[in-house]
Amino acid sequence: MANSHGLKSSIVKKQAAARKLSKGKKKSAISYTGNENKQSRFNLSYKKRTRYMQNKEAFPKKKLPTKNTDTLIELGIIDERWFFRKGKKKNFFTKSMTDLKGFDYYGMPRS
């Protein structure tokens, strides 16, 4: 009777596996009912809003300790050409993926 709704058996099996994986996750999900404006409630479902807030709280925005380039080079956050060492290879001065000469992190010309 598993196929009475007209779906292929492979889809029904995938749905059953997904249901089995999601068991017990509702209890662990933290609900968020805080400061939400009307527009965000209209655009996003409750589930997406709660996940968004959980992710936002779990990964707070990292701020640089200082804006002084010499100090950032000493701390090892940026290199001599002002590229960030970790994460996206962005240039601190130009705020793009290239330095002042138009070369990227690896020294290749980037158009």
| pTM of the predicted model as reported, rounded to 2 decimal places | 0.44
Considering the domain boundaries, does residue 25 fall inside one? no
Q: Is 103 in the same domain as 76?
A: yes
> Is residue 85 scored above 50 in pLDDT?
yes
> Mind listing the pLDDT tens digit for each residue in 32-78?
555 556 665 666 677 777 787 777 777 777 788 899 999 999 999 99
Tally of structural domains, the chain: 2
- Torsion region of 49: left, alpha or beta (phi above 0 gives left; psi -120 to 50 gives alpha): alpha
**Buried b / exposed e along 54-87 (16+ C-beta atoms within 10 A):** eeeeeeeeeeeeeeeeeebeeeebbeeebbbeee
Q: Is 77 in the same domain as 97?
A: yes
pLDDT at residue number 17: 76
